[in-house]
Amino acid sequence: MIPRSNFQKPVIKEDYAIVLDYLSNGYPMEGRRMPVGQGIGKNHLFLLELIPKKDVALTPLKEVYIGDDKRDEIHHVAGKIPYSKLTSTAKMNLDSVITKIVEINPEKWVSFFNKSSPISKRLHQLELLPGIGNKHMWAILEAREQSLFTSFEDIEKRVPSIPNPKELIIKRIKSELNEEDKYRMFIA
Query: In this structure, are 86 and 130 located in the same domain?
Result: no
Prediction pTM value: 0.87
Per the domain annotation, does 185 fall within a domain? Answer: no
Return the CATH number at 127.
Answer: 1.10.150.280
**Contact of 145 with 184, CB cutoff 8 Å:** no
- Total domains in the fold of the chain: 2
Domain limits at 138? 105-177
**Contact of 79 with 25, CB cutoff 8 Å:** no
In 10 A of CB 20, how many CB atoms? 25
pLDDT band at 119 (very low <50, low <70, confident <90, very high): very high
Per the domain annotation, does 24 fall within a domain? Answer: yes
DSSP track, 109-125 = HHHHHHH--BSSSS-BG
pLDDT surpassing 90 at residue 1: no
How far, in Å, CA of 151 to CA of 41, rounded?
24
Query: In this structure, are 54 and 86 located in the same domain?
Result: yes
**pLDDT at residue 9, rounded to an integer:** 65
List pLDDT tens digits, range 61-79.
999 999 999 999 999 999 9
How far, in Å, CA of 117 to CA of 163, rounded?
22
Question: Which of 48, 67, 93 lies at the terminal end of a domain, its last residue?
Answer: 93
